[in-house]
Amino acid sequence: MTAWSQSSNHQTASLTIPQVADGPKRLITTDDLIALRDIDSFSLSPDGKKFAVLIRQADPVANDYRTGWFIGSTDDGALTAAGDGGEARLTIGVTGRRGGEIAGSPSRWSADGQWIAYTVQRDGEVQLWRSSVDGKVQQQLTRNDADVRDFVWSEDGRTLLFTVGSTRASQRARDEQGRRDGFRLDEFQFYTEVIHRAAPERPVETDLTVWAVASNGHDERVADAAGKKQFEEGVRRGWSWGRDRSQPPKIEELGGSAAPPVVGKNGVLAWLARVDPSERGILPRLRLTASLRPDGSQPIACTADECTAQFFSKVWWSEDGRQVIFWREEGINLTDQGFYSWTPASGVVKPLWRVLGDRFKECELLGRRLICVRETRTQPAHIASIDTRAGRVSVLADFNPEFKNLRLPRIERFEWDAPPDTVGLGYPKRAFGYIVYPPDFDPKKKYPVIISPYMAHGFIRGDVGDEQPLLAYAANGFVVLDTGFPYPMGDIGAADSDTLFEKMHSAELGFPNMTMLLESTMRALDAAVARGWVDSSRVGMGGLSQGTFASLYALQKYDRLSAVSVSGPGWSQIEYYLITSHGLATMERAGISWKFPESVEYWRQVDLADHLDSIEAPILMHIADRESAGIMRLQRRLSDAKKAFEAFIFPDEYHEKWQPAHRYAIYNRNLDWYRFWLQDYEDPSGAKADQYRRWRALRDLQCLNPRSLRAYCADNDKE
């Protein structure tokens, strides 16, 4: 496929899906992982013959993303380039803050199926665009002084209705006034905003104005009363289970509890009803319910176990209006996918498709087929077609054809008994993960192991935060344990957030969140060690967020690690001090009012900075500038105690690092770090000479550590 160019004054889209011939298999590298093409948006045309996708690919050299819209055929997957997708945007959380994840614009089809509309961010402004399905036209529709938030087509397809907040000029003026006069502290949610750039995140705007624009881009104007009504009706008519992640979510939308009834043939209805109205958690148990009458009377509740869940991803009616097709999250930690049919008239429930480990980001029902955005453990995001009758799945559109020439590792799912739920929070009894074997694995040998202790589902890439290149680790001779720690799913549904958080982080109850996470991870390691091919003196561990907590807490509680790489702060008293009173109030409005205690005694139990003598392994840190304050106490104390560690700070980053150059650098440094400490290997590249000079000096410090599992120096005196 050749590159697509738009005939306008805007930038040229350079994202392509190349034709790749079969070739000899080679091992995967960090270059392959960073260049993956992701699917950020998916929608099906009204007649089901086509789908639209927004594809994104990182470019670490330019430290930017290439984006592009494609129209695909649901018959054979043939793709047509439909235009540039603009600048990558970050997701916005419930409080209006960004976390570093990339969000893509939703695409919405005109009634005749000839156009898709979507938003594009370019030069810092978000406008409404459209593309023709043949890829010949990409047109900017709005030139509004404010960013476009949400949009719908009118039923006749002649107009698009959209919402905006305050103008960009007024926002800039407000920011500039604050820079000149100072910002009130109450404008900041977290002190990290003060430390990072001394400007608060802009608050979530709820007072929006409805505008209208002709479908050809003419006559942009504030909507009249009829237009506002059309917009509201369009939003209800086009309610999407796949939320626009560039806009703040609503807690009540999680799990499908706020989904409107699904209307089938002859007006039959299906909806999700709370099993117990008293449940106050964010994921209450829901039961599939239907009515064969258009007025919703005489509801029929599905009594089968499959019809009750905490997270329904989507619900449809079959074409004849007789069966309800539903997709739910199930299994340990709700990481497995199940598709079922229910016939309300007879009560019969049948499984259509169940799969462990795969991840479905979005699906639409098309006759007897499901068209889905899917990842497997060894295949990145693609469009899949699932035959619900035959139970067969096939790849409809592959956006990473280069992967077929990579030699990927063998992957094995394994389970173990989770730690006992002694505090009754609803933790599962079993935990699970995957063993990723190196090439030419020999069970008679002893292998170094790297543990990724956070989320084990979907494509094995870099775990949460995309910083641990797990497949590249395996390709370089490591056994990888990709594990998922237990979640208290029971109380997530039943208890209010404050009660749940208080129990999970209770010192009196033994810090269940930390303890369950760590002990489950160690049980996974024990299960691998029992197989006989683990070198217990060469175990690495690392990750982001909970992956950081587990790794640092392991250094405090066990002597089992020989190298650690973390992506942010661990638990410390700074958690109490970083949030402002305004931030607490903002979180309370979002449904969370519990806060961490200030007590030094409380934090001393879990803060690694107070347990330096327990540390047995060198630590590598990749820290976002916005989170650097949270780990400075540990860093200073490690330095004073002459412990082996190295830290890097990344500018303009969030909880998850979004810049391609940063992710690529972290990929490569993590791989070098683990190879240095666990394989005694140094990359001979001259560009890395200074890196290894520093690390050899750290190794000299590690020689002095009496808890070190490995005797790195011949003259190491442990007495």
**Would you give the distance in Å from CA 377 to the centre of its chain?**
15
Please state, in angstroms and rounded to a whole number, the distance separating the CA atoms of residues 195 and 625: 9
Taking residues 73-92, report their average pLDDT: 94
* DSSP calls for 477-504: T-EEEEEE----HHHHHHS-HHHHHHHH
Specify the pLDDT at position 550. Answer: 94
In this predicted structure, the answer to whether residue 242 has a pLDDT above a threshold of 70 is no
In this predicted structure, the answer to whether residue 716 has a pLDDT above a threshold of 60 is no
> In this predicted model, what pLDDT tens digit does every residue of 620-648 receive, in sequence order?
999 999 999 999 999 999 999 999 999 99
Determine the angle formed by the axes of helices 497-504 and 512-529, rounding to 10 degrees.
60
Residue 377, CA distances (Å) to 100, 116, 209, 345, 415 in order = 23, 31, 44, 38, 16
Residue that wins the pLDDT comparison between 227 and 206: 227
Question: In the structure encoding, which two tokens stand for residue 231, read together?
Answer: 């917009």
> In this predicted model, what pLDDT tens digit does every residue of 699-712 receive, in sequence order?
999 999 999 999 88
Specify the pLDDT at position 14. Answer: 75
Please state, in angstroms and rounded to a whole number, the distance separating the CA atoms of residues 308 and 448: 43
Quote the pTM value: 0.93
Taking residues 139-165, report their average pLDDT: 95
Looking up tokens 């898709």 gives: 116
Specify the pLDDT at position 6. Answer: 33
Taking residues 657-671, report their average pLDDT: 97
In this predicted structure, the answer to whether residue 573 has a pLDDT above a threshold of 50 is yes
Specify the pLDDT at position 250. Answer: 57
Q: How do beta strands 89-92 and 98-103 pair?
A: antiparallel
> In this predicted model, what pLDDT tens digit does every residue of 325-340 receive, in sequence order?
999 999 998 899 999 9
Phi, then psi, of 710 in degrees rounded to 5: -120, 140
Taking residues 51-77, report their average pLDDT: 96
> In this predicted model, what pLDDT tens digit does every residue of 605-616 receive, in sequence order?
999 999 999 999
Residue that wins the pLDDT comparison between 591 and 641: 641
Q: How do beta strands 312-317 and 300-301 pair?
A: unpaired
User: How deeply is 317 buried, as exposed, middle or buried, from its count of CB atoms within 10 A (0-12, 13-18, 19+)?
Assistant: buried
- Mean pLDDT lowest among 1-10, 124-133, 173-182: 1-10
Confidence class for position 192, pLDDT limits 50, 70, 90: confident
* DSSP calls for 54-78: EEEEEETTTTEEEEEEEEEETTT--
Handedness of CA 277, 279, 281, 287 (dihedral sign): negative
In this predicted structure, the answer to whether residue 264 has a pLDDT above a threshold of 50 is yes
> Among candidates 648, 660, 642, which has minimal Cα distance to 700?
642
Specify the pLDDT at position 252. Answer: 52
Specify the pLDDT at position 98. Answer: 83
> Among candidates 455, 437, 426, which has minimal Cα distance to 357?
455
| Diameter of the chain measured on Cα atoms | 84
Specify the pLDDT at position 285. Answer: 92
Specify the pLDDT at position 300. Answer: 97
Contact criterion met (CB below 8 Å) for 484 and 331: no
Question: In the structure encoding, which two tokens stand for residue 308, read together?
Answer: 């009750």
> Among candidates 300, 235, 289, 286, which has minimal Cα distance to 262?
289
The mean pLDDT value of the chain amounts to: 91
**Would you give the distance in Å from CA 43 to the centre of its chain?**
19
- Mean pLDDT lowest among 245-254, 392-401, 530-539: 245-254
Looking up tokens 């209208």 gives: 212
Confidence class for position 239, pLDDT limits 50, 70, 90: low
Question: In the structure encoding, which two tokens stand for residue 189, read together?
Answer: 């949610």
In this predicted structure, the answer to whether residue 552 has a pLDDT above a threshold of 80 is yes
Specify the pLDDT at position 308. Answer: 96
> How many Cα atoms occupy the beta-carbon half-sphere of 711 within 13 Å?
6
Q: How far apart are the first and last CA of the chain?
A: 66
Confidence class for position 3, pLDDT limits 50, 70, 90: very low
Specify the pLDDT at position 93. Answer: 76
In this predicted structure, the answer to whether residue 135 has a pLDDT above a threshold of 90 is yes
* DSSP calls for 520-588: HHHHHHHHHHTTT-EEEEEEEEEESTHHHHHHHHHHHH-S--SEEEESS--S-THHHHHB-HHHHHHHH
Contact criterion met (CB below 8 Å) for 59 and 13: no
Please state, in angstroms and rounded to a whole number, the distance separating the CA atoms of residues 621 and 625: 12
Phi, then psi, of 495 in degrees rounded to 5: -95, 150
Specify the pLDDT at position 236. Answer: 72
In this predicted structure, the answer to whether residue 200 has a pLDDT above a threshold of 80 is no
Cβ neighbour number for residue 407 with a 10 Å cutoff: 11
Taking residues 121-129, report their average pLDDT: 94
Contact criterion met (CB below 8 Å) for 565 and 620: yes
Specify the pLDDT at position 440. Answer: 93
In this predicted structure, the answer to whether residue 366 has a pLDDT above a threshold of 70 is yes
Confidence class for position 244, pLDDT limits 50, 70, 90: low
- Domains of the chain from N-terminus onward: 86-165+205-249 (no CATH), 250-357 (2.120.10.60), 409-571+606-703 (3.40.50.1820)
Residue 116, CA distances (Å) to 71, 147, 409, 551, 692 in order = 9, 19, 39, 46, 52
Specify the pLDDT at position 13. Answer: 46
> How many Cα atoms occupy the beta-carbon half-sphere of 445 within 13 Å?
12
3-class SS at 160? strand
> Among candidates 318, 317, 322, 389, which has minimal Cα distance to 350?
389
